[in-house]
Structure 1
Amino acid sequence: MEKRRLGQTDMYVSSVGLGCMGLSHASGTPTPKQEAIHILQEAFRMGYNLFDTAECYTGVNPDGTISNNEEIVGEAIKDFRDEIVLCTKFGVTHKGDHLEFDSSPRKIRESIEGSLKRLQTDHIDIYYQHRIDPKVEPEVVAEVMKELIQERKIKAWGISEVNEDYLRRAHAVCPVTVIQNRYSMMARWHEPLIKVCQELGITYIAFSPLANGALTGAYHSQADFQNDQQDFRRNMPQYSETGIVKTNQLLEVISKMSEQYQATNAQISLAWMLGKFDNIIPIPGSRKIERLASNFEAGNIQLLDEDIQMIDHQLANMEFEVFGGH
């Protein structure tokens, strides 16, 4: 499989990375810890070498205890820690129905020590600011990142859910290696930012590359998720009555190409973005080992340019109801 470089660093990873969030956060009741560890270890054996987590990815186990994603990832990877690129994030706290942001230097320092302990490591390869904190200027955050790099607590840094102005200002102080924003066939509003990243030599990490599962074709309505209060998809607009109609119009297009390439809908969706941009790395996640294997193999599928253009032409004439939509 093709390797892709992370920014201007010496870190190269497989073209499909692994989003670990769903094992314990936002996708329902957390996966039992030992099962989650096994899934992550199997992912490494498949070839995944970019693992993405965050300090705020937590969920509540059936017994009332907290499932902490960083702790699970740290336990899973300890035997192959030096063979992967480990990414985590700071600056977000979940407060019921809203998020609180804190990217103050004091909070960053507190967060890095907590993440290092939970991940059982002495350094983070990519350390993300999880969300822009309107109370803290980008230059201030970048200066702290520069210090953490000098202290060898992190190798490089990135920003999630960033805009062009913030990115350019931060990059001028301490070069940004990656950004992590939403991107999929159903969420293309950041395409101008992908081109900014190409200009600056920054890698674009695409989260929710399958539109929170909508592009797999495996789900049919919000009712598929109603039995689990911890599954955020239960209220996502792509699964509403009108949203699913619009989603299905796209799935008809993808399915025809899936037959042509003898691939799954998810594989075509991932191969599409890999073929469009050479600086993008999608990070789908799943609790199912067979689906992780299928997603990873998408990195070996090369769509013809005319097929990518055909999909883009179809997308230009479609509108979607999708979580995070602009």
Structure 2
Amino acid sequence: MNAPRTDALRRIGPFEVPAVGLGCMNLSHAYDTPPSPGDAAKLLLSALEAGVTLFDTAALYGYGANEELVGRVLGPHRDEIVLASKCGMTGVDGRRVIDGRPETIRRTADESLARLGTDVIDLYYLHRLDPAVPVEESVGALAELVAAGKVRTIGLSEVSAATLRRAHAVHPITALQNEYSLWTRNPERGTLAATRELGVALVAFSPVGRGFLTDAPPAVAELPSDDIRRTMPRFTDAHYPANLALRAELAALASDAGLTVAQLALAWVLSRGEHVVAIPGTRSVDHLREDVAVLDLDVPAELLAAAGRVLSDGTVHGSRYAEATLPEIDTERCGAAG
């Protein structure tokens, strides 16, 4: 494993990790046919070799397949990594179900531990807030898992600052995982400041905009019908061309600075606070190395500010989720970002 620069390390509760981790979802879920088991294993081991230590999975991803993959491949390296998973949103009879009841959380944790092949999960998130269950009850169940030694620390995902504060009053929250990128600014409406104040890490998922903020943005017309981006308004014909025009401006800024678009996007996210950690996902070893390389780059503040002006909640076109999905998300909303 390559040792990361000490100035590239950030805290997630008791853990010290490089500021760029790996989101493992797309190795098993949401983006068309997953890679072969061999290719997925190669990606995970390449991440470890590149110095990544934070690996993020969930019971939902592949309806358990992603946890099994991570556990099988990284199990021999368990002491070298910080292992994060999630409960509260799982696959039931082939469909996604949000269920934050304490009994479900306890059962899901035991199932995840078995799939991951470990006796403890370092960071265990409530994947989504169940509107039918007070967050205090869900967090109380997570706290019981800590007391039982099955979980070391707990987190929340896609919740608001108000919900974070309620949860934190029940048991210390180590990390809040919300979508955050140049074109998704919801955390700036509350959780970015609240996490800083409370000493909670803000873990940014989709920091390169689900592939949009890369040198090869998706050709939406060529995406398979089951690709999750097909359901997202900002990728539709009504909004995508305008967003691509903004991305072209961003690409010009990156190129002039000798950066890739993904590196500029990641550098921007990491500049938002010393408590911010990014977990981009990829199926490409080359893209993985490109992402991790941002830790060795010094990107001028003026360039980051310019990037933030090109893409923001005031310029992006379309919401980040379809109207039917937005009620499931507890985060603050902002402009077109949903």
The residue number in structure 1 matching 2:237 is 241
TM superposition shift of 1:278: 1.5
The residue number in structure 2 matching 1:64 is none
Q: Deviations over 1:178-215 (max 9, x none)?
A: 01111111111221311111011111111111111111
Determine whether 1:40 maps to 2:44: yes
Q: Distance in 2 between matches of 1:267 and 1:246?
A: 22
TM superposition shift of 1:106: 0.8
Q: Deviations over 1:13-45 (max 9, x none)?
A: 111110000011001112122321121111100
Q: Deviations over 1:63-103 (max 9, x none)?
A: xxxx7100000011011111110000011134699742111
Alignment partner of 1:215: what SS? coil
Q: Distance in 2 between matches of 1:41 and 1:217?
A: 24
Give the TM-score of the pair, scaled to structure 2.
0.88
> 1:221·1:241 contact (CA, 8 Å) conserved in 2?
no
Q: Distance in 1 between matches of 2:46 and 2:316?
A: 37
Determine whether 1:204 maps to 2:210: no
Give the TM-score of the pair, scaled to structure 1.
0.91
Alignment partner of 2:264: what SS? helix
Assess, with a 3 A threshold, how the Cα gap between structure 1 residues 54 and 208 changes in structure 2: closer, same or farther. same
1:49 partner amino acid: T
| Matched-pair identity in % | 36
- Cα RMSD over matched residues? 1.9
- Of residues 24, 29, 34, the one that matches 2:28 is 24
The residue number in structure 2 matching 1:175 is 172
Q: Deviations over 1:230-250 (max 9, x none)?
A: 321233333322322222232
The residue number in structure 2 matching 1:5 is 11
Which residues of 2 match residues 107-126 of structure 1 at below 5 A? 107-126=104-123
Q: Distance in 1 between matches of 2:50 and 2:98?
A: 35
Q: Deviations over 1:225-273 (max 9, x none)?
A: 13xx432123333332232222223222322222233111011000011
TM superposition shift of 1:311: 2.4
Q: How many residue pairs were aligned?
A: 315
Q: Distance in 1 between matches of 2:10 and 2:156?
A: 19
TM superposition shift of 1:222: 1.8
> 2:206·2:279 contact (CA, 8 Å) conserved in 1?
yes
Give unpaired runs (5+ residues) of structure 2. 322-336
Determine whether 1:186 maps to 2:183: yes
The residue number in structure 2 matching 1:284 is 280
> 2:250·2:310 contact (CA, 8 Å) conserved in 1?
no
> 1:183·1:206 contact (CA, 8 Å) conserved in 2?
yes
Q: Distance in 1 between matches of 2:94 and 2:219?
A: 22
The residue number in structure 1 matching 2:153 is 156
